[in-house]
């Protein structure tokens, strides 16, 4: 494989990092040192300003790792014994036969699909189509449900549409006041930090809101150490000051929003003194942040999992959106709101059919017009489409309860990444058929009946959508090792074995994208004006892009929001208290926090190697100190 790369034209060595949602450009340069390639940052992709973090610099390791699975494997007995190599014909034929037998006995919904947020747009799209057309099941969801669902729901409620960031990253240096809530950018998206540092150099005030002291908080002017579960209380205090002192953007609120009265009533009792009493954040701090953000000429609010992954995650996110909208800091230069997407394709992964309730283009699966449009693209009748399924965790509960008998997992490791791992482990052992498509034997794959070798980010061409909403093309660099197959080919071939191959006839991955674009036409996430040729020449296009002559939409909401009346919604939030408050028996609050060398469940060998090195260093330093 290395020798094949040395013969490739120089222009084919460009790609994108497979890890976080920045999707930094990378160059693969031949080297005399093992493994024969060096990863370097690409200066050509406009997002990461020619930089890479340690994840990107190590992104090649798992692709060329000797433990990689390169042929189909099967268990020869039901006690999860040793793997045995099998041919693709035997593997796909037996998988299809078992699925058909289970569906004949238990119904179409006995089979389900569990996807991932790091897959290409094309593969995400095909997983949704495969589930609904080939399996004819309603049960599909993906690991992004644990990440962005709260932010997506809040954005849809407030704006009428969900795109992670309402503006490009290039707007950050223009902001004079930046609030970073529940996000540790320095360790999660390190190559975004130059934008923040440039803003700081330009005179911006940076506020971090996080229970931990983090690498990001070290560059902040103000760090609010807020206990988990109290975000809405704190933001209500900010909104109280802004409303009470009439610091809001009056004309903007009157002309472009709905719900101000409800918001004003909801925050009336949340005086800074009361907020201090509840949260411990000083009254003066509440007033300082509120006045600073409201009076700043430009400002940006960025949120992430710290406040979204709570039982009240939607209300937390809505309240931070309230802050942007109430002060009129959205839809103009240097202003905006962003829910910082985590996974490589966390944005595109939820737009085109992996979510239980969505069809391509962010269409609701329960909308008759949406069903008719997508069905016409797929060549089926609208009534053939199944209804709404359930979320990822609920899907796994359906497995545990015995309703789902067969599960196909692609691009995810739910045994590690899902809550209540004991239940998930029990559920996986109950499955009559578990098929995992991956490059390694993950913790989930240890319970699989079939492990099928898929493709890495360097072997499969396709498109992704980064945290800005920028759709871009990622080309093929390497040939597949062994008898591995491209992920989309596995899906199509299995559909054919299930007797539904007529609906999955593609001459290449670009054909899949073109169908995706047609299916998304007229939807909220409209890709219909995007083509491979445009992406290759323009280095990405921001959706919505509804026609071939449309320039894309880098800046959202400049003239109107996506609700029918064109107005944003303000919400009066009555904060709920934390689901598990401390008491004398349970006096501690435990929370999660990302490290710069960690990504997802950590089973990729490159991730594990880097993490172990870091831990060994810290341990040696501690015993020597």
**pLDDT value at position 618?**
37
Q: Is 620's pLDDT higher than 60?
A: no
Q: Is 109's pLDDT higher than 70?
A: yes
User: What is the per-residue pLDDT across 43-67, written as a single tens digit (0 to 9) for each?
Assistant: 888 898 788 888 888 888 888 888 9
Say how far apart CA 447 and CA 433 lie, in whole Å. Answer: 10
Q: Is 521's pLDDT higher than 60?
A: yes
**pLDDT value at position 617?**
36
Structural domain count, the chain? 3
Question: Could you tell me the sign of the dihedral formed by the alpha carbons of 512, 514, 515, 519, in that order?
Answer: positive
**pLDDT value at position 607?**
45
pTM higher than 0.85:
yes
Q: DSSP letter for 448, please.
A: -
Q: Is 296's pLDDT higher than 80?
A: yes
- Of 469, 493, 526, the position where a domain reaches its end is 526
In sequence order, the 6+-apart residues with CB closer than 8 A to the CB of 244 are none
Q: Is 609's pLDDT higher than 60?
A: no
Flag whether 319 is in a domain: yes
pLDDT band at 505 (very low <50, low <70, confident <90, very high): very high
Say how far apart CA 301 and CA 43 lie, in whole Å. Answer: 28
Flag whether 602 is in a domain: no
Query: Which residue has better confidence, 284 or 343?
Result: 284
Query: Which residue has better confidence, 396 or 417?
Result: 396
**pLDDT value at position 78?**
57
Task: Please indicate, yes or no, whether residues 131 and 153 belong to a single structural domain of this protein.
Answer: no
User: What is the per-residue pLDDT across 402-461, written as a single tens digit (0 to 9) for each?
Assistant: 999 999 999 999 999 898 999 999 999 999 999 999 999 999 999 999 999 999 999 999
Angle, nearest 10°, between helix axes 231-244 and 313-326?
Answer: 20
Flag whether 496 is in a domain: yes
**pLDDT value at position 611?**
41
Flag whether 64 is in a domain: no
Percent of the chain at pLDDT exceeding 90: 71
Say how far apart CA 326 and CA 332 lie, in whole Å. Answer: 14
- Of 496, 526, 556, the position where a domain reaches its end is 526
**pLDDT value at position 544?**
97
Residues 447, 425 contacting (CB under 8 angstroms): yes
Residues 384-399 have a mean pLDDT of 96
Query: Which residue has better confidence, 603 or 479?
Result: 479
Flag whether 596 is in a domain: no
User: What is the per-residue pLDDT across 540-561, written as a single tens digit (0 to 9) for each?
Assistant: 999 999 999 999 999 999 999 9
Residues 52, 28 contacting (CB under 8 angstroms): no
Flag whether 385 is in a domain: yes
Residues 493, 408 contacting (CB under 8 angstroms): no
Q: Is 72's pLDDT higher than 90?
A: yes
Instruction: Supply 236's token pair.
Output: 């209500």
Flag whether 551 is in a domain: no
> Residue 312: which CATH number?
3.40.228.10
Highest mean pLDDT among 30-34, 149-153, 236-240: 236-240
Q: Quote the domain boundaries for residue 47.
A: 2-57
User: What is the per-residue pLDDT across 191-219, written as a single tens digit (0 to 9) for each?
Assistant: 899 999 999 999 999 999 999 999 999 99
Average pLDDT score over the chain: 90
């Amino acid at each position: 494989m290395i020798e094949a790369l040395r013969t490739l034209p120089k222009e084919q060595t460009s790609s994108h990092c497979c890890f976080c949602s920045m999707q930094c450009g990378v160059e693969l340069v031949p080297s005399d040192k093992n493994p024969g390639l060096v990863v370097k940052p690409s200066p050509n992709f406009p997002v990461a300003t020619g930089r890479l973090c340690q994840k990107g610099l190590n992104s090649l390791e798992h692709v060329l790792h000797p433990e990689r699975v390169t042929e189909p494997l099967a268990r020869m007995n039901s006690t999860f014994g040793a793997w045995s190599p099998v041919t693709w014909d035997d593997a796909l034929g037996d998988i299809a036969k078992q699925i058909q037998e289970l569906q004949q006995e238990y119904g179409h919904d006995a089979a389900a699909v569990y996807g991932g947020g790091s897959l290409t747009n094309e593969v995400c799209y095909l997983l949704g189509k495969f589930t609904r057309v080939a399996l004819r099941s309603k049960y599909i969801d993906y690991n992004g449900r644990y990440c962005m669902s709260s932010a997506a729901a809040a954005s849809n409620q407030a704006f009428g549409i969900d795109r992670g960031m309402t503006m490009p990253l290039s707007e950050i240096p223009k902001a004079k006041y930046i609030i970073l809530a529940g996000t540790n950018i320095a360790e999660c998206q390190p190559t975004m930090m130059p934008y923040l540092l440039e803003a700081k150099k330009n005179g911006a005030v940076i506020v971090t809101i996080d229970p931990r002291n983090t690498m990001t908080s070290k560059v902040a002017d103000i760090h609010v150490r807020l206990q988990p579960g109290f975000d809405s209380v704190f933001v209500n205090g900010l909104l109280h000051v802004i409303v009470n002192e009439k610091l809001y953007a009056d004309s903007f609120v009157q002309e472009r929003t709905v719900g101000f009265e409800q918001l004003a009533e909801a925050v009336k009792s949340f005086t800074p003194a009361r907020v201090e009493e509840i949260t411990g954040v000083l009254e003066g701090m509440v007033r300082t942040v509120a006045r600073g953000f409201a009076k700043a000429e430009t400002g940006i609010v960025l949120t992430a999992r710290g406040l979204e992954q709570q039982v009240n995650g939607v209300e937390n996110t809505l309240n931070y959106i309230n802050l942007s909208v109430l002060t009129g800091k959205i839809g103009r230069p240097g202003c905006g709101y962003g829910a910082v997407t985590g996974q490589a394709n966390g944005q595109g992964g939820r737009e085109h059919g992996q979510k239980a309730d969505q069809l391509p283009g962010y269409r609701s699966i329960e909308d008759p017009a949406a069903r008719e449009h997508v069905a016409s693209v797929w060549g089926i009748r609208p009534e053939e489409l199944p209804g709404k399924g359930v979320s990822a965790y609920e899907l796994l509960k359906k497995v545990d309860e015995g309703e789902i008998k067969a599960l196909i997992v692609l691009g995810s490791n739910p045994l590690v990444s899902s809550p209540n791992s004991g239940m998930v482990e029990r559920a996986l052992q109950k499955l009559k058929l578990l098929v995992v498509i991956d490059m390694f034997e993950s913790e989930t794959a240890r319970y699989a009946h079939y492990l099928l070798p898929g493709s890495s980010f360097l072997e499969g061409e396709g498109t992704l959508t980064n945290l800005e909403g920028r759709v871009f093309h990622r080309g093929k660099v390497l040939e597949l090792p062994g008898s591995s197959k491209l992920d989309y080919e596995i899906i199509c071939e299995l559909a054919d074995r299930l007797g539904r191959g007529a609906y999955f006839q593609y001459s290449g991955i670009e054909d899949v994208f073109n169908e995706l674009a047609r299916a998304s036409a007229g939807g909220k996430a409209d890709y219909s004006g995007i083509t491979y040729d445009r992406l290759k020449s323009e280095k990405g296009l921001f959706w919505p892009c509804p026609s071939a002559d449309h320039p894309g939409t880098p800046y959202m909401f400049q003239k109107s929001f996506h609700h029918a009346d064109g107005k944003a919604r303000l919400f009066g939030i009555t904060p709920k208290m934390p689901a598990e408050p401390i008491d004398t028996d349970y006096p501690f609050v435990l929370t999660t926090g990302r490290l710069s060398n960690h990504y997802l469940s950590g089973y990729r060998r490159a991730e594990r190697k880097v993490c172990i090195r870091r831990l060994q260093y810290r341990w040696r330093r501690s015993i020597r100190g």
